[in-house]
Amino acid sequence: MFRFHLSGASALAVGIVTAMPVHAEAIADTVPTQYAAAAMQPMIIVTGEYQPPAIISATKTETPLIDVPQSLSVISREQLDDQMLTDIADVMRYTPGASIGQGEGHRDQITIRGQNTTADFFVDGLRDDVQYFRPLYNLERVEILRGSNALIFGRGGGGGVINRVTKTAQFDTIFGGGTASVDTFGSAYLSGDVNLSASNSVAVRLNGYYEALNNHRDFYDGGRWAFNPTASFALGPSTRIEASYEHVDDSRTVDRGVPSLRGEPLMGFDNTFFGSPDFNLTQFQGDIVRGRFFHDFSDSLSFNTTVQYADYDKLYQNLYPVGFDDVAGTVSLDGYRDTTQRENFIVQGNLIWEGRTGALAHTLLLGYEYGDQQTANARRDTFFDVSQDDQVTFAFSDPLAIPSFGFPVTVRSTQSDAEFLSFYAQEQLEIGQHIILVGGVRYDRFDIDVIDAIEVADGAGDGNDGFLSRTDTEWSPRVGLIVKPMDNLSLYASFSRSFLPRSGDQFLSLTPTDETLAPERFDNYEIGLKWDPMPQLSLTAAVFRLDRENGTTPDPANPGNSILTGSRTEGFEVQLVGELLPGWQVNAGYSYLDADERGRVVGAALANRTLAQVPEHMFSLWSRYDVSERFGFGAGVTHQSSQFAAIDNSVRLPGYTRVDAALYYVLSENVELQLNVENLFNEDYFPAAHNNDNISTGEPLNARLTVRVGF
């Protein structure tokens, strides 16, 4: 397997955080214990390159994966590099129980255990909830935690969350590396990672990248770039400060795929662009500043706190299909222009005590979190001259000959201020060698004030004066029982809860009616096992039920009113990750999901529907085998059964199976060549949708050549 050697143990100690794969077991002896104990996102201590970390953020404490009563997946830096994964959507293809949404062509959107979200994203444990495509260039790993768990992450996360763990500056070493790649569609990628330190008290690191975007779709292009400088300062043996800044810039074509025809995606037009090449675009700029402080009061008591300010500026505009008639030979389009500005200020702190009282071992967590999120959003509808409406139907051609249009009407103009304050406590209690109890609770106060400028201008005659507000106070418990008949085997049962305020995950859904309703609630019941048959191999499995309550739907008897409804997802997940044999890495997973509405009534009878974008069966496998120190190869397969595009269950995306492959060759000590081939058998497939008439088409056979260098 490819390695870059620096200088003995120092090089190995930092290798896990470079862009180049190294053996992670060498880290253990080089990380000062006081630093590892204090970190909110602790150092990884593993033995297999694909194997999930032994220490994760699922409990905010240093906890072996086998002792966490929750289903989760971790995609390591090594696997990201081996497969050249550059987007959250790529990562989701190798995550049991999770599927991707189209995101309207301008954002990450995922469904975990049947719960669709655009906001349940975190970076180093802090909320990162604005809508955009998150890059992966500066990450150690991606953690996908399944099941409701407001105790650790706060509101939302009904089905789970995605947490990105970033690279940090490393002491007492100098290293660097770069990656350059290009694929057969003309998409190109360039990244670099440099760490500089001349002592054990000051270090700086810079990660950056640029990506030229292109694919099989007509008229699609764009580019994005980002850079992320970080610095670490050791203020004595027990205190450390980390500072970072990240700028992200993304400009690309907004592509919302193809419409449907007679209950399935429109076939034969995989490349056709159902929009305006000149008008469909998104522009995003994000700036994130973060400071983190770690201190050990003693060997058993530590404290960490993080302060983050983020400023996001987002524009997207698009025309998109809303219908297709092959008999009449027509296509129908709609469109709008949307802008969002958001500022997030978040402070989080954690006090961790590890000790014993008699035969009992304790890990006690006490924490707080405060946040203020200010958002301004505006939307203008299209107006087509020929139809005198915001929608138009015209003769289909390829490319489309779109009638003239403009944006004279503002249909949404809101400003919101969401403020939250949280306190939480968690105890991990070890009773002897075979039983662990995990219990905790979180208190959240969530206040939101919304000014709807359109309703303010209309006056209060319609019952809405444009000034809306709501305050929610919620308690979110988590309990778990772990039984370990052997050190390498754990059986667990757990219950956890989360909530979502009526303003929604983007603060856009508060109305006079919703203003009176309590938050939605998510309850997750789970039993599972975690088994390490070998030190470098982990098997996890879980059976779960996730209930969503207090959702709303129009009352069939009186459409002007809403009734409460919900959903239930039941399922099974299994994943095998690690090293099967020396040089043979594997990440394999399978999930079965049964996700349906609960409480929907039509004509005085229950009429529950299957939840949208939830394949019943999902399977993924990626494996790399190194034949020698210079040569290796990889192979992967992903399968999804059919899924509905929308909740009305009228359009079904067909199931598919995609096969990928890769070759790796070490040219010299500092240079590696890599060839990734995606969709090896040229499968025609539809991986995601936003609704019945916005369906993404999968890329055909595509090859990417990559060169990695390092020093």
| CA neighbor of 102 nearest in space, from 530, 698, 542 | 698
User: Tokens 């067909």 identify what position?
Assistant: 654
Q: Using the predicted structure, report yes or no on whether residue 36 has a pLDDT greater than 50.
A: no
Which two structure tokens, joined as six digits, stand for 21? 């794969």
Check whether the bond before 700 is cis (ω within 30° of 0). Answer: no
Percent with pLDDT over 70 in the chain: 91
Average confidence (pLDDT) over 147-167: 95
CA distance 23 to 535: 14
| CA neighbor of 672 nearest in space, from 704, 643, 709, 700 | 709
- Beta strands, E only, 326-404: 330-357, 360-384, 392-395
User: Tokens 């946040």 identify what position?
Assistant: 371
Give residue 48's identity as a one-letter amino acid code.
G
Q: Is the dihedral of CA 396, 397, 400, 403 positive or negative?
A: negative
| Residue 565 CA, distance from chain mean position | 27
User: Tokens 């402080």 identify what position?
Assistant: 293
Per-residue pLDDT of 95-115, as tens digits, reads: 999 999 999 999 999 999 999
- What 8-state DSSP symbol labels residue 14? H
pLDDT in the model for residue 602: 83
CA distance 651 to 643: 9
Average confidence (pLDDT) over 174-190: 97
Q: Using the predicted structure, report yes or no on whether residue 261 has a pLDDT greater than 80.
A: yes
pLDDT class of 42 with cuts at 50, 70, 90 = very low
| CA neighbor of 611 nearest in space, from 238, 8, 53, 99 | 99
pLDDT in the model for residue 70: 94
Q: Using the predicted structure, report yes or no on whether residue 18 has a pLDDT greater than 50.
A: no
Q: φ, ψ for residue 639 (rounded to 5)?
A: -135, 135
pLDDT in the model for residue 605: 86
pLDDT in the model for residue 52: 62
CA distance 164 to 169: 16
pLDDT in the model for residue 9: 31
Q: Using the predicted structure, report yes or no on whether residue 551 has a pLDDT greater than 80.
A: no
If you average pLDDT over every residue of the chain, what do you get?
90
Q: Using the predicted structure, report yes or no on whether residue 434 has a pLDDT greater than 60.
A: yes
CA distance 635 to 632: 11
Q: What share of the chain is helix, strand, coil (3-state, %, to 5)?
A: 5, 60, 35
pLDDT class of 51 with cuts at 50, 70, 90 = confident
Q: Using the predicted structure, report yes or no on whether residue 203 has a pLDDT greater than 80.
A: yes
| Burial bucket for residue 186 (CB in 10 Å: 0-12, 13-18, 19+) | exposed
The upper half-sphere exposure of residue 368, i.e. CA atoms within 13 Å in the direction of its Cβ, equals 6
Residues 6+ apart with CB under 8 A from 36: 42, 43, 55, 62
pLDDT in the model for residue 509: 87
Average confidence (pLDDT) over 422-426: 98
Per-residue pLDDT of 336-381, as tens digits, reads: 999 999 999 999 999 999 999 998 999 999 999 999 999 999 999 9
Per-residue pLDDT of 628-674, as tens digits, reads: 999 999 999 999 999 999 999 999 999 999 999 999 999 999 999 99
CA distance 581 to 298: 41
Q: Using the predicted structure, report yes or no on whether residue 582 has a pLDDT greater than 60.
A: yes
Q: 3-state secondary structure string, 220-287? A: CCEEEEEEEEEEEEECCCCEEEEEEEEEEEEEECCCCCECEECCEECCCCCCCCCCCCCCCEEEEEEE
pLDDT class of 198 with cuts at 50, 70, 90 = confident
| Burial bucket for residue 60 (CB in 10 Å: 0-12, 13-18, 19+) | buried
CA distance 525 to 523: 7
Give residue 652's identity as a one-letter amino acid code.
R
Tell me which of 602 and 475 has the higher pLDDT: 475
Q: Using the predicted structure, report yes or no on whether residue 46 has a pLDDT greater than 60.
A: no
pLDDT in the model for residue 548: 95
Q: How far is CA 328 from CA 46, 331, 393, 582, in A?
A: 61, 9, 11, 61
| CA neighbor of 164 nearest in space, from 111, 194, 120, 125 | 125
pLDDT in the model for residue 37: 34
Per-residue pLDDT of 615-629, as tens digits, reads: 999 999 999 999 999
pLDDT in the model for residue 11: 32
- What 8-state DSSP symbol labels residue 401? -
Residues 6+ apart with CB under 8 A from 653: 264, 265, 642, 643, 644, 645, 686, 689, 695
Q: Using the predicted structure, report yes or no on whether residue 241 has a pLDDT greater than 90.
A: yes
pLDDT in the model for residue 516: 86
The pairing of beta strand 202-213 with beta strand 702-710 = unpaired
Structural domains in the chain, sorted by start: 8-710 (2.40.170.20)
pLDDT in the model for residue 560: 52
| Residue 273 CA, distance from chain mean position | 27
CA distance 339 to 375: 10
Q: Using the predicted structure, report yes or no on whether residue 274 has a pLDDT greater than 90.
A: yes
Residues 6+ apart with CB under 8 A from 590: 96, 573, 574, 575, 617, 618, 619, 620
Exposure class string for 238-270: b at 16+ Cβ within 10 A, else e: bbbebbbebebebbbbbbbbbbbbeeebbeebb
Beta bridge partners of 325: 330
pLDDT in the model for residue 49: 75
pLDDT class of 601 with cuts at 50, 70, 90 = confident
Q: Using the predicted structure, report yes or no on whether residue 58 has a pLDDT greater than 80.
A: no
Residues 6+ apart with CB under 8 A from 104: 254, 256, 316, 318, 320, 690, 694
Q: Using the predicted structure, report yes or no on whether residue 383 has a pLDDT greater than 90.
A: yes
Least confident of 23-32, 47-56, 419-428, 697-706: 23-32
Q: Using the predicted structure, report yes or no on whether residue 44 has a pLDDT greater than 60.
A: no
